[in-house]
């Protein structure tokens, strides 16, 4: 998986920071987005992030996801 790749969320992932559903559970299952960053370093030091893929959904929502939660869209 690389930056710029279109992805789809394949598992149930409930978030509570969706801008249109503040403080309510919102399930991302089936939503499509784009990988905008892969977190593997912080201030020049390597890190082992639990959710390394930063995915953009629309103009206002970014979510960190793991590789088992997403799949590439052809």
CATH code, 6-72: 2.30.30.50
Look at the alpha carbons of 29, 35, 37, 39 in this order and tell me if their dihedral is positive or negative: positive
Cα–Cα distances (Å) from 19 to 7, 22, 32, 58, 59, in that order, read 20, 6, 16, 11, 10
The model's pTM is: 0.86
Furthest CA-CA distance within the chain:
36
pLDDT in tens, the chain (74 residues): 899 999 999 999 999 988 888 889 999 999 999 999 999 888 989 888 889 999 999 999 999 999 999 999 97
Which residue, among 13, 2, 1, has the nearest Cα to 61 in the 3D structure? Answer: 13
Q: Where are the domains of the chain?
A: 6-72
């Amino acid at each position: 998986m690389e930056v710029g790749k279109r992805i789809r969320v394949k598992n149930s992932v409930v978030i509570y920071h969706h801008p249109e559903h503040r403080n309510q559970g919102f399930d991302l299952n089936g939503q499509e987005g784009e990988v905008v960053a892969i977190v593997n370093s912080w201030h020049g030091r390597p890190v082992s992030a639990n959710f390394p893929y930063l995915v953009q959904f629309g103009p206002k929502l970014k979510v960190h996801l793991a590789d088992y939660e997403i799949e590439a869209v052809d």
